[in-house]
Amino acid sequence: MNKDLGWWKDRFLSYLQIERNYSPRTICNYSIDIQQFIDFLSESQLSIDGLMPSSVVVKAYLSLLRRRGMSSRTIARRLAALRGFYNFLILKGQVKDNPFAMHPNPKERQKLPQFLTEEQIDRLLSIGYSNDFYGMRDKAIIETIYSTGARVSELVGISMDDLKLDEGLVRLFGKGRKERLAILGRYAQLAIKQYLRFRDDLADSNERALFVNRFGKRLSVRSVENIVRMRLIQSGLYKPGLSVHSLRHSFATHLLNRGADLRTVQEMLGHKNISTTQVYTHLTVDRLREVYDNAHPHAH
């Protein structure tokens, strides 16, 4: 049995190399993943029908991987290799069905992006921005993201026509060019007004971008990422995992901590589904205690 699987494994790897032009690294990983399944069958002395393991055998193998403490990503890679292998066996007429097709990848625990506390945001915005184009632009960028919860791609997409400073609003274009109006708080409005004095002298009339580089052209996503990282370092707040997205995450976290409801935050973030917004509901224990103490009749 195992010799047959081993022989077909070699044929599969040759197929990946010659006909599919897979990278040597991917082929090596597939070889290891398939061989470990073959070794599992031998060590467990589980019988299979020709080359076809039963659903019970597949479940036993996946259960073993979980007991060994493998990450969801590693198990998903093993499944991908074995699905590919059995699709190849179907192609060659050796089996009729793929025994791994009915087993979805395990859900990977969603990692929460790091966020800044309200005190850290205040620190980031009070590090002494120079009264020139760079200082005023960088402060306006950070204030705008924190005020609106904009994605960095939405921020760089803002044009002068999208800005309604007198109304405290800015138009953002999210995923799929979905449009929404975001609120600019007083601090963001002031920062943008101060920045515009320098921006208007630098950019020519044909450039409609709100945030520009030193050549007067629209900033790129990478440029904004570098700007925020530099300011985080300058404020002494930077650590691995903090990024420009952490400002968006801080925006949502602080709103929820101060009593905003999830549906409102969902709309402000431009999320299509509320399940996406629920990643931001890691309220602090202190906040939960405060709500409980104020709301529950037997709290005291």
Query: Which three-class secondary structure string do you get for the chain?
Result: CHHHHHHHHHHHHHHHHHCCCCCHHHHHHHHHHHHHHHHHHHHHCCCCECCECCHHHHHHHHHHHHHCCCCHHHHHHHHHHHHHHHHHHHHCCCCCCCCCCCCCCCCCCCCCCCCCCHHHHHHHCCCCCCCCHHHHHHHHHHHHHHHHCCCHHHHHCCEHHHEEHHHCEEEEECHHHCEEEEECCHHHHHHHHHHHHHHHHHCCCCCCECCECCCCCECCHHHHHHHHHHHHHHCCCCCCCCCCHHHHHHHHHHHHHCCCCHHHHHHHHCCCCHHHHHHHCCCCHHHHHHHHHHHCCCCC
C-alpha to C-alpha distance for 137 and 131, rounded to whole angstroms: 10
Q: Which residue has the tokens 């509901």?
A: 281
State residue 290's pLDDT score: 64
State residue 207's pLDDT score: 95
C-alpha to C-alpha distance for 118 and 247, rounded to whole angstroms: 11
| Residues in Cβ contact with 138 at an 8 Å cutoff, skipping those fewer than 6 apart | 129, 227, 230, 231
C-alpha to C-alpha distance for 107 and 105, rounded to whole angstroms: 6
C-alpha to C-alpha distance for 152 and 224, rounded to whole angstroms: 7
The per-residue pLDDT for range 158-181, each reduced to its tens digit, is 999 999 999 999 999 987 778 999
Which residue out of 180, 245, 254, 287 is catalytically annotated?
245
118-293 matches 2-91 in CATH topology: no
Q: Domain limits of the chain?
A: 2-91, 118-293
Which residue out of 175, 178, 193, 289 is catalytically annotated?
175
Is the distance from CB of 98 to CB of 87 less than 8 angstroms?
yes
Which residue out of 151, 199, 218, 231 is catalytically annotated?
151
C-alpha to C-alpha distance for 300 and 292, rounded to whole angstroms: 10
Spatial strand order of the sheet with 163-164 comes to 163-164, 169-173, 179-183
At 64, phi and psi to the nearest 5?
A: -65, -45
Tokens encoding 163: 């800005």
C-alpha to C-alpha distance for 75 and 98, rounded to whole angstroms: 17
Does the annotation mark 280 as catalytic?
A: yes
Which residues are 264's β-sheet partners?
none
Residues of the chain with pLDDT under 70: 1-3, 47, 107-113, 274-292, 296, 298-300
C-alpha to C-alpha distance for 247 and 249, rounded to whole angstroms: 5
Residue 151 corresponds to which amino acid?
R
Does the annotation mark 271 as catalytic?
A: yes
State residue 256's pLDDT score: 85
Domain 118-293 fold: hpI Integrase; Chain A (1.10.443)
Q: Which residue has the tokens 């935050």?
A: 265
Does the annotation mark 151 as catalytic?
A: yes
* Cα Rg of the chain, angstroms: 27
What number of other Cβ atoms are within 10 A of residue 162's Cβ? 18
CATH assignment, 2-91: 1.10.150
Does the annotation mark 248 as catalytic?
A: yes
C-alpha to C-alpha distance for 137 and 85, rounded to whole angstroms: 54
Is the distance from CB of 41 to CB of 31 less than 8 angstroms?
no
